[in-house]
Amino acid sequence: MENVSMSAAPVAAKTKVRKSNKVATKPQAVAAPVVAGVKKPSNMARFIEATGKGEQDYIKWATEVGQRMHINKLDALVCAKLEVYTVAHLGNLPTELPEGMPESEVDTYLAEQSVNPCELVRLWKQVKADAESWVSKESILNEWLTGVRKEDFNHYGDPNHAADVSRRWWSKEAAALDGQLAEINSMELLNTDVTFEDAIDFIKAHRPGGYVNPVWSLVKRLEERFKEVTTFRIKDYYAEHLLKMCGMVTAADNDDDLPF
């Protein structure tokens, strides 16, 4: 029987053709057309278009809107904490004072005993205003006397007390103490002069810039009490809101309508 040999080339060629046909007939992915989106106008642009006002007006308005939203949130916290329907009811819930308490002791008593945020806010604003306008020899020296030569202290004071003075006071570059006091007194911040004795006593009692007048201490205490009662820190704009709601100030509601 005659052997017949067949070449493998045609088979390979046929297979190659089939593969190429398969690749050629595979559907190609078509990229979706990109549609340019229309950019929406910003809040600022809409505000300016609706009101005719400028960028600074928008910033002011946006700040006020943010504060209103925050006020609503804080009101809800106060109402839940104190179990009142509205913070306005706090104006009808004054702290009961001990019978016969002198008027001079009322503020101190309320600062420690009141659980009414409106009362604490009213007292806080009052005391804060007093603290900001507080002027005394100590407050003046705290602001204007920042350093002193050790030899001046020994000259006008008792050298035996120099070891008890904060080292932060000593400065070889400091102006002479008499010159510093002359400059302070020339400003006429008080109706009496600050003396060498005042300066020496102040240096012995305090570090540079370390004096805190007692009114500021009460301000800090009221801020602590407010947070204890409400769970959040006091803010100027919320303080104003509480006072209005509780009828402790007379002020018109100036809220503007939203322009969009």
60-74, 75-89, 150-164, 241-255: segment of lowest average pLDDT: 241-255
On whether residue 124 sits in a domain, the answer given is yes
Higher pLDDT, 103 or 9: 103
Share of the chain above pLDDT 70, in %: 77
pLDDT of residue 25: 52
Question: To which residue do tokens 């913070």 refer?
Answer: 87
Is there a domain that residue 129 lies in? yes
Tokens of 94: 């004054």
| pLDDT tens digits along 163-206 | 999 999 999 999 999 999 999 999 999 999 999 999 999 999 99
Reduced to 3 states, what is the DSSP secondary structure of residue 49? helix
Q: Total domain count for the chain? A: 2
pLDDT tens for 28-53 read 655 555 545 556 667 777 767 667 67
The answer on 239 and 110 residing in a single domain is yes
Q: Are residues 141 and 129 in the same domain?
A: no
Average pLDDT of the chain is 82
Note whether 142 and 185 are same-domain residues.
yes
Q: 13-33: per-residue pLDDT in tens?
A: 444 445 444 444 555 655 555
Indicate the burial class of 91 (C-beta count within 10 angstroms; 0-12, 13-18, 19 or more).
middle
Same domain (yes/no): 146, 110: no
C-alpha distances in Å from residue 20, one per residue of 9, 16, 231: 16, 6, 76
Is there a single domain that holds both residue 146 and residue 88?
A: no
**Residue 168 and residue 114 share a domain:** no
The share of the chain scoring above pLDDT 90, in percent, equals: 63
Do 141 and 125 have their domain in common? Answer: no
Residue 5 covered by a domain: no
CA distances in angstroms from 98 to 92, 118, 211, listed in the order given = 18, 19, 34
pLDDT > 90? residue 58: no
In a domain, 184, yes or no: yes
**111 and 151 share one domain:** no
Domain of 159 in residue numbering reads as 137-205
Q: What angle do CA 230, 247, 122 make, to 5 degrees?
A: 50
Same-domain status, 191 and 161: yes
| 188 inside domain | yes
User: Rounded mean pLDDT of 103-112?
Assistant: 91
